[in-house]
């Protein structure tokens, strides 16, 4: 699963020709049988476009990258969308947990706007399973992708884990086991901290009650835990685990959204709020927006003034023209360390669909 920072890197890439292949795919058979054919047809269309504008030698590297990306697709384990990006210097294959319109695009930039829009308006999170092996997953709705780079997954190699408990007269085996468990979960928490520093996300904990309690006792991440999934999930597949974790995370997120609305009401009383696209744009640009509340489907095309302080009528031309100024606001709030909450249409009508709680 691509991080927001990686996606922004692809968004800023400029090199003509940059090829983007977007395709809806399927997670199960027999629907996924036609996916390879449809994707290869889109690639063929892009290659034909390249060969009309360039000699085969000039774009051989781009075509080769595209072909290699297609070979890398695991057609038995696709999600509901697929993106292939290729230029002379950069390429990426991204499986997407949401559907996209089938397109083959040749431009000077990669077609990432739909991806950013969907990414920004969903709430990614993580799932951490706790037992004698601790596994960490990035999650987007019910779709989980496991962290396999060291140190995850972590294996409990201490007493009571892979190592035997000490024996002998006067030794409290239960106490030794509990101390070792705490030590193991401290190491898990330290590993989680490294991942969180690079890309902070809320968390769902999964494990038997005993392990959940031990982790809660030692963790420094209590403020990001949105929900607990009780039970032994050593043998639970990522698909099944995602289906169990997502409703719990959604429930926790609902509580967080209600609390954000309460903070907005308090901010209004204290004259520490911004309401409407114009006010929120200025607050986000100045790094003053601690909490952003926005209706999920709200989009607003506009140009920014030369000093960046105001929004002007949309022209669709130049770097200060934004297809969706709301997306830009979301990015600025996140980049400045703020938090973002999304609401159904009509929930923020009093604030013209978008509002912010300002820093003190």
Q: Is the peptide bond before 50 cis (omega within 30 degrees of 0)?
A: no
The count of other CB atoms within 10 Å of the CB of residue 316 is: 9
Q: Can you tell me which residue has the tokens 């249409």?
A: 345
Burial class from Cβ neighbours inside 10 Å (0-12, 13-18, 19+) for residue 270 reads: exposed
Reduced 3-state DSSP string for 137-175: EEEECCEEEECCCCCCCEECCCECCCECCCCCCCCCHHH
Q: What is the pLDDT along the chain (360 residues), one digit of tens a residue?
A: 566 667 777 777 888 899 999 999 998 888 889 999 999 999 999 999 999 999 999 999 999 999 999 999 999 888 888 999 999 988 999 888 778 889 999 988 888 877 776 776 677 899 999 999 999 999 988 888 899 888 999 999 877 666 676 666 666 667 778 899 999 999 999 999 999 988 888 999 999 999 999 999 999 999 899 999 999 999 999 989 999 999 999 888 888 889 999 999 999 999 999 999 999 999 999 999 999 999 988 999 999 999 999 999 999 887 788 878 998 898 888 888 888 888 999 999 999 999 999 998
Measured distance CA(298)–CA(343) in Å, rounded: 10
Intra-chain end-to-end CA distance of the chain, in Å:
35
Q: Model pTM?
A: 0.64
CA dist 332 and 281 (Å) reads: 9
Strand partners, 339: 291
- The pLDDT tens digits for 85-116 are 999 988 999 888 778 889 999 988 888 877 77
* Domains of the chain: residue spans and CATH: 4-121 (3.30.960.10), 125-254 (3.30.420.60), 272-358 (3.30.1330.30)
State how far the alpha carbon of 357 is from the alpha carbons of 19, 189, 254, 333, 354, in Å.
40, 31, 18, 11, 11
């Amino acid at each position: 699963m691509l991080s927001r920072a990686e996606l922004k890197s692809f968004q800023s890439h400029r090199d003509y020709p940059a090829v983007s292949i977007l395709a809806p795919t399927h997670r199960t058979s027999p629907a996924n049988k036609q996916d390879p054919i449809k994707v290869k047809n889109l690639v063929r269309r892009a290659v034909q476009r390249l060969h009309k504008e360039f000699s085969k030698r000039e774009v051989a590297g781009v075509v080769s990258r595209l072909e290699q990306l297609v070979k890398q697709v695991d057609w038995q384990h696709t999600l509901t969308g697929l993106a292939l990006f290729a230029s002379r210097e950069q390429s990426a294959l991204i499986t997407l947990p949401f559907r996209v319109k089938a397109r083959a695009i040749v431009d000077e930039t990669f077609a990432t706007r739909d991806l950013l829009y969907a990414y920004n308006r969903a709430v990614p999170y993580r799932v951490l399973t706790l037992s004698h092996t601790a596994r960490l997953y990035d999650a987007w709705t019910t779709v989980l992708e496991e962290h396999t780079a060291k140190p995850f997954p972590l294996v409990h190699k201490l007493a009571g884990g892979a190592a035997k408990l000490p024996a002998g007269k006067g030794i409290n085996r239960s106490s030794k086991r509990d101390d070792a468990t705490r030590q193991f979960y401290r190491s898990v928490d330290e590993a989680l901290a490294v991942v969180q520093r690079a890309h902070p996300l809320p968390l769902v904990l999964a494990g038997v009650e005993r392990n959940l309690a031990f982790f809660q006792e030692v963790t420094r991440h209590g403020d990001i835990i949105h929900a607990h999934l009780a039970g032994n999930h050593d043998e639970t597949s990522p698909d099944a685990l995602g289906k169990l974790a997502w409703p719990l995370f959604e429930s926790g997120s609902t509580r967080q959204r209600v609390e954000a609305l309460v903070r907005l009401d308090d901010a209004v009383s204290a004259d520490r709020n911004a309401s409407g696209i114009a006010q929120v744009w200025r607050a986000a640009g100045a790094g003053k927006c601690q909490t952003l509340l926005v209706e999920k489907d709200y989009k607003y095309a506009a140009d920014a003034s030369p000093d960046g302080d105001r929004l002007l009528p949309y022209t669709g031309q130049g770097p200060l023209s934004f297809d969706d100024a709301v997306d830009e606001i979301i990015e600025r709030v996140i980049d400045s360390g703020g938090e973002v909450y999304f609401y159904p249409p009509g929930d923020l009508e009093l604030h013209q669909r978008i509002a912010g709680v300002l820093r003190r």
